[in-house]
Structure 1
Amino acid sequence: MARSRRVSLPPSPRGAARNRHGRGLRSSVTGPHLPVLRTRAESFESAVAETADYLRGLWPDELANVSFEIAGIPRSVSADGLDRWWVDSAARRVVLYRLPIERLAHAQVEDEAHQRMHVEGCVFRAVAELLGRDPWDLAPERYRDL
């Protein structure tokens, strides 16, 4: 059986600075005048971090040594279904699972504000579970005018 011979060609005179079909480097999708878009993961991390900082400001002693972590999905499925977060009270650790929180939310309106509120609600419920309190008791001043 005959074997095909591979022949290596010299590099193109166009150089490595060009992309496919001889066009120049690609620019960002948003263009030079608009801000760069954030990914869903970055938006999720930002919402968790800002909510955790807010709660640490309200409960500095109780949340001083608590670590907030983000994971993709839980390792196993519980009897109640897919967990949205996991709280380890002994290690002072809260793990939020990004994909179940984002994908299993049944919001009537799918916009960035509602998604962020859903993430914030999950952080509130996870911290309430850690502290043994009701989520509404974590920030009573926040909901006074509602």
Structure 2
Amino acid sequence: MVYVIIALAMLFILGPVLMLRPSARERREARIRQRAMADSVLISPISLARDKKFNALKQRNPHIDDFRWFRYQLVATEKETGPSVKGEWLQRKTREGQLVWEPTDTKVQTPPAVQQLIDQWQQQQAEDFLSLELGPRSVSIVWNERGDLAEVEALLKHLKQLLAI
């Protein structure tokens, strides 16, 4: 009887401690975010329900998850000029089920580097990316953080290339 009481006491003590340990997914996310932040990338969560632009995109594309989207933004330093083009491209699904990328402003000429990246994503038909944004001093990609360090390395490479256009 004493052993049963000791075992139960140990479970009550160790149970909550073991529950506080991060899961494998949380460790993976921390690893990829730490790698991105090492290159001065700003990471912010996106709520599709609260953001006007993404809420409209969600209404037209119900296949998109409401949560788990993050903006990875690389801002130009004082020595860098930033992208020469300002624009935004969003991914959507056609009635046939194909993922396509479209600019939010049809008057914007898509730079070759952006078109090459969009073509690559369109060929892969991956739902991992939602938006590509070029601003006067920054470039950002909204994605769902699927993958590991290799995917983050590729994403960082794309961000650096796009910042230089």
TM-score by length of 2: 0.35
TM-score by length of 1: 0.38
Which structure carries more strand by proportion? 2
With a CA cutoff of 8 Å and minimum separation of 6, indicate the structure with the bigger relative contact order.
Answer: 2
